[in-house]
Chain A
């Protein structure tokens, strides 16, 4: 029995926001009256809904993770990470107050490295957990790798990427994405990820990288050219400074944000586009414009509803993802047997503690 994915899109979403609204609002209500403890169960409920309305080829996805798992994950992260963090802060402050700057600095450095390492563990394990709780045709994904090796890679690649004046950041992102996915599997098949540093990716990143410099030189040039003509009048100088601030602000946060978005869109197309599983090839077709519409929509939704719209962000982001992901090829269901990978018992608590997003 072969599952072909020909004309129709392999992925589809069958829910709508009116159906989701009661879930979102009761989740919000229960989270408030439980002082936030319910958020873990709320997250599980939201995913159960989103997954169950997501079709892949001929059947729906199924989320089997529970609120309790996420809660236990959070408690573990609290004791493994947040408590030591508090203690280190305390010690650093005590050292600084005694004038032991060197020791305090060393401790901050060690803490930073530890943070980066744990961040790698967290990103890896969150992905592994999500795959292990995602079922399709009664089959789940997962990984036997614990992620400690990945975390070492994450540590040094992040440092190298940043140290070279940030120029190697795209390389670090792509290679870490590959490394992560190449350790994951679904059912009997291993994911294969071969994302590369394309010229499009490098170009967009360079644009992002050079933008602040261009803006800075532009402002300096403008000041040199226009400066002498307005030097006499204090009002003109005030206006010029105000204009510079406005232009600088727009340049940095709007233009830079847009360029960052074009980079991210290209990055996501590249890495998802070079991901495969068994006989399936994946593709992600969202362009910069699509990401922009999502992003602006999210901001408006939150602002216009005075923050209450936040409860719909997860829904919007998920449907965006499903609308734009595509799969081609075929999956042989006769060999499509259950995954034998170890099932992690706790949720992505560590990642929640770091406040990092899904992919």
Chain B
């Protein structure tokens, strides 16, 4: 047993093996080590560098030991300077932050977070453009397939739909179909799948209205908006995952909504150009948007399920934009009367009688 030197100090000690509290003396052993010396018992040597500050108990500093859970010592008396100088500083916030200080760390984290948010705003569109169209197409058919029994296939109607698509300069590879769902809406799915719901055809009072909506959806296909939105959603859920459920959800909704508005405006611009090129009047589309705005409440439930595919906020602003784009050039209806009748009957005799899915579709 070494003789207690001047630097020796009384501690309370648990060794992590037994719950019995000992009160040994801490005795320095060389420059950077110490022993715990009790009656008839000597533990150590331990390195000061292995100590981990654990705050204070009633003003007495307490230390643990690295890789020795349960091991602790609490100083019962004032610390001799020789010992105090070698003890590690308090760990407060966690490794990096303790090293560089709270405020520099806050600044650094804020800068990185700002970069990440900028990334969320720009990277998804780049990533979406990097994904080959074929992969996107496969993803799209995974999501919707051919709509099974609900796809409308009346030959005359399909021919009329094709005629309208050609007039609107639909590019090759776009899969356009009408589905027997009584919703006044249309969606674009990844991989250039454009779906018009039969409710839209039933409610439209002229083929030009349908052409305007179709052109809008073709705008989404052109800009690959749907894929971009999927990539964005994925990225957001990973980045915001750490936040408390609600905070993450709201931030997510906010970022998606602001993005979605931009995409809708771009698709509208595309539709206006397409109508002008095809010499189809934009006025019926404007009228149609105003009509849709009124029925929005009714569609909301179903819309919520389809939000991530494409969101179509109807507003008087959009109506005005279409109305304002009407020029002085002559226009002709997109389909003749016979074609229009055929398109309306594309779902056959059973049109509109399709029974609603119990799952809300």
- A residues engaging B (CB < 8 A)? 1, 14, 26, 29-30, 33-41, 45, 48-49, 52, 59-60, 62, 64, 67, 74, 78, 82, 86, 90, 93-94, 96-101, 104-105, 135-140, 187, 333-334, 336-338, 343, 355
Contacts and interface: CB of A to CB of B under 8 A. Distances in A.
B40 interface: no
Given A35-B242, A135-B69, A101 B93 contact: no
B232 to A, nearest CB: 14
Return the 8 tightest CB-CB contacts between A and B, nearest first: A138-B14, A336-B19, A36-B243, A36-B242, A138-B70, A137-B19, A33-B109, A33-B110
A1 B20 CA distance: 8
Contacts of B150: 98-99
A94 B141 CA distance: 9
B54 A62 contact: yes
A64 B92 CA distance: 14
Interface in B80-107: 92-94, 97, 102, 105-106
Contacts of A45: 92-94
A260 B134 CA distance: 56
Nearest to B16: A138
Contact of B102 (A26, A41, A59): A26
How many B residues touch the partner, as a band? 35 or more
B247 interface: yes
A41 B95 CA distance: 10
A337 B18 contact: yes
Nearest to A343: B69
Interface of B: 14-21, 54-55, 57-58, 64, 69-72, 92-94, 97, 102, 105-106, 109-110, 112-113, 116-117, 142-145, 147-150, 237-245, 247-248, 305, 357-361
Contact of B14 (A26, A101, A137, A334): A137
Nearest to B143: A94
B359 A82 contact: no
Contacts of A29: 106
B248 to A, nearest CB: 7
A34 to B, nearest CB: 5
Contacts of A135: 69-70, 72
B19 A40 contact: no
Nearest to B21: A137
Nearest to B116: A35
Nearest to A63: B54
A101 B94 contact: no
A267 B18 CA distance: 35
B69 A30 contact: no
Contact of A104 (B55, B57, B359): B359
Contacts of A136: 19
Given A33-B110, A45-B93, A64 B69 contact: yes
Nearest to B117: A35
Given A36-B241, A36-B243, A67-B94, 18 more contacts: A26-B102, A33-B109, A38-B109, A41-B94, A45-B93, A48-B54, A49-B55, A82-B237, A82-B241, A93-B143, A96-B357, A99-B357, A105-B359, A135-B69, A136-B19, A137-B14, A138-B71, A337-B19
Nearest to A1: B20
B242 A187 contact: no
Nearest to B20: A333
Contacts of B54: 48, 52, 62
B343 to A, nearest CB: 22
Nearest to A52: B55
A81 to B, nearest CB: 12
A44 to B, nearest CB: 8
A30 B106 CA distance: 6
Contacts of A30: 93, 97, 105-106, 109
B242 A39 contact: yes
B361 A39 contact: no
A96 B150 CA distance: 11
A354 B302 CA distance: 27
B14 A36 contact: no
Contacts of B305: 93
B357 A101 contact: yes
A156 to B, nearest CB: 27
